[in-house]
Amino acid sequence: MWSGWCMGEQGKRGGSGQGWWDGWFGRLLAGAWVLAVASGAAGAEWAIAAWDFNSVTPDSSVTTGTLEPAKGWGSLGRVGGVRDSFGSGYGSSDPAVTDNSDWRLSGWPAQGTGNKLHGIEIRINTLGWQPLRLEWDQYVSAAASRYWRVQYTTDGVTWRDGPVLAAAPEVWTHGLSVDLSWVLGAADNPRFGLRLVSEFEATALGRGAAAYVAASPLYPYATNGWLRLDQLRVWGRPTLERWSVLTWNLAGFGMTNWTPTHPQLQAIERILRALRPLVVSFQEVPEGWEAAMTNWVRSWWPEATVVVGSRTDGAVRLALASGLPVRAVRSWLRRVPLQAWGADAVFTRELLEAELVVPGFPEPVHTFAVHLKAGADVESAVRRAAEARAISNFFAVEWPARGRGRAYWLAGDCNEDIRRPRAAEQGAVQILLGEGTGLRLLSPVQAATGDDRTWSSWHASLSYRFDYLLPSGLLWSNVLDSGVFRSDREWPRPAGVEEGDSALASDHLPVWAVFANPFLPPRLSWELGGTGGRLRWWSGAGQRYRIEMSPDLQEWSAVAEMHVTGPGWAEYGLELSGGRRFYRVVRLP
């Protein structure tokens, strides 16, 4: 049976200067910090990433599987050159009845070598998360190492020891669990990582052999032992209250020096560093500069995932930068014929889709980037409308089956102004907003001028609004703020941005929006005021709550129910009288 956790030598160095570490072991001595079996706390924990190793498309073969998470996002790999394969996960806590694979690791280091350098490694982006727990099922064969160390990194490079465990041989142990809530620097950290590595007896126990000991006392340690894993999860609490998105046509057409020292790119960089959007849709990355685009973004935003779209018209491409994990990228409608949609031409570029993992959202959120055909001439206008019809058809026909009610938004340069139509135009933006797409019109304006126009900052005055953020219903109802950024009109101008930066950066102005996260668990705060005070908590739009009161934390009674219309801070006022009271807020379905 499971033999419990042992205290390693690290834990005995109480005054090592790592504050959380002392706390961690303080909890161990109190006997409460490591749970042999997950105690649940139902509803309070979300999977930041969860692996079940089962094939994405069930194939009735347990010897195939995947290291991609079944839920959330993170990367999982091997450390120290161990080998891996998939096999039957029978006996693990995976509820899958068929096709239940586990992940098997073997090829361990020779006796007396490679202490704490061989095993598995998890990398997760905890931006918008407070990690709470690492949990897994494990089966260790008789001759594999008995001692296993959990390690963590907060800088992506340096690995520190967490607790060590002594494995029971030849039995599935379900729900092994390590508390991560005490790890300073684990939250909001794109470089957070965890390891599980085999360890010598001497370092694990602080006594014994400077060598591996087999899990079973009946066997000598062997390099061909097995560590088998299933139901590997990193649990956490989402903390992302709001998240911002931005779209920008970068005016890269024809550029032949797309390098970080170019004044245009430096101006774009200054603006984006000041605005700090979490997800950016770019248009007009010059063809041939895809790697340069990635390198440039990473030079000032190292945590970003950068996606550059496919080759399309041979001149410019779409791109995306995201501080949130990107699960998948897809290209739709790329150079497809448009005859069915009313133009004797092909779709000029593409509809670039990225699947994002937003903390707290039960399903991925999808972003779509577009750059419709430019030009005021009849041919271009007809082609642009046909492109909009093809996109509309995608959202009406293709998307409902794939999207399954997920949130999404479309962003980009539509090369048409919904309020200022030119002669030959057929209403491309109205087509995108038509029945069936689920997209809603958002009309950001520049804060000081109230101007919705985004083009051209290279002319004496702006002419048209070409750039749009069109969210689906859930995101649209949770818009906290939006705007058009123009460096020479912003007041106060953000630090680091120069007055002439907008005109230097691009002929287009960037358009941004901030969404409230409607999925955060309510976390109450209390504000005193007048003869009473207010309960405050973060809320999405249109959510319902019941406020409950208790004199003793035992008996709870309903005080009120309320419906929160707008996203943001919700408040409930209370008169202070009588004795001690406890309050809680329950989100209603």
> In the window 525-554, what residues touch Ca ion (CB under 5 A)?
none
Task: Output 94 or 199, the one with its CB closest to Ca ion.
Answer: 94
Contact status: 52 vs Ca ion (CB under 5 A): yes
62, 74, 100, 472: which one binds Ca ion (CB under 5 A): 100
Q: Determine contact, residues 179/38, Cβ cutoff 8 Å.
A: no
> Do the strands 511-516 and 242-249 form a parallel or antiparallel pair, or are they unpaired?
antiparallel
Task: Output 53 or 129, the one with its CB closest to Ca ion.
Answer: 53
> Quick one: which segment of 186-194, 228-236, 308-316, 386-394 binds Ca ion (CB under 5 A)?
228-236
Alpha helices in 450-580 (DSSP H): 473-477, 501-505
> Quick one: which segment of 76-84, 230-238, 356-364, 580-588 binds Ca ion (CB under 5 A)?
230-238
Q: What residue has token string 């995201």?
A: 322
89, 119, 236, 277: which one binds Ca ion (CB under 5 A): 89
Task: Output 53 or 361, the one with its CB closest to Ca ion.
Answer: 53
Task: Output 230 or 425, the one with its CB closest to Ca ion.
Answer: 230
Q: Determine contact, residues 28/7, Cβ cutoff 8 Å.
A: yes
> In the window 317-376, what residues touch Ca ion (CB under 5 A)?
none
> Quick one: which segment of 21-29, 81-89, 338-346, 470-478 binds Ca ion (CB under 5 A)?
81-89
Q: Determine contact, residues 455/507, Cβ cutoff 8 Å.
A: yes
Task: Output 94 or 507, the one with its CB closest to Ca ion.
Answer: 94
> Quick one: which segment of 27-35, 95-103, 327-335, 447-455 binds Ca ion (CB under 5 A)?
95-103
Task: Output 201 or 230, the one with its CB closest to Ca ion.
Answer: 230
74, 82, 94, 367: which one binds Ca ion (CB under 5 A): 94
Contact status: 161 vs Ca ion (CB under 5 A): no
3-state secondary structure of 422: coil
Contact status: 137 vs Ca ion (CB under 5 A): no
Residue 296 CB: number of other CB atoms within 10 A?
23
> Quick one: which segment of 85-93, 280-288, 470-478, 488-496 binds Ca ion (CB under 5 A)?
85-93
For residue 151, which amino acid is it?
Q
3-state secondary structure of 73: coil
Task: Output 89 or 444, the one with its CB closest to Ca ion.
Answer: 89
In the complex, minimum distance from the CB of residue 77 to Ca ion, in angstroms, rounded to a whole number: 18
Q: For residue 21, which of 131, 155, 160 has the smallest C-alpha distance?
A: 160
Contact status: 182 vs Ca ion (CB under 5 A): no
Task: Output 153 or 231, the one with its CB closest to Ca ion.
Answer: 231
Long-range contacts of range 546-550, CB-CB < 8 Å, 24 or more positions apart?
546/585, 546/586, 546/588, 547/572, 547/583, 547/584, 547/585, 548/583, 548/584, 548/585, 548/586, 549/581, 549/582, 549/583, 550/581, 550/582, 550/583, 550/584
Contact status: 69 vs Ca ion (CB under 5 A): no
Cis omega (within 30 of 0) for bond into 190: no
Q: Determine contact, residues 53/101, Cβ cutoff 8 Å.
A: yes
In the complex, minimum distance from the CB of residue 232 to Ca ion, in angstroms, rounded to a whole number: 9
Q: What residue has token string 């142990």?
A: 173
Give the binding-site size for Ca ion (rule: CB under 5 A). Answer: 7
> Quick one: which segment of 16-24, 96-104, 393-401, 428-436 binds Ca ion (CB under 5 A)?
96-104
> Quick one: which segment of 138-146, 208-216, 223-231, 293-301 binds Ca ion (CB under 5 A)?
223-231
> Do the strands 543-550 and 557-564 form a parallel or antiparallel pair, or are they unpaired?
antiparallel
Q: Determine contact, residues 453/483, Cβ cutoff 8 Å.
A: no
Q: Determine contact, residues 42/31, Cβ cutoff 8 Å.
A: no
Contact status: 230 vs Ca ion (CB under 5 A): yes
Task: Output 84 or 481, the one with its CB closest to Ca ion.
Answer: 84
List interacting residues with Ca ion (CB under 5 A). Answer: 52-54, 89, 94, 100, 230
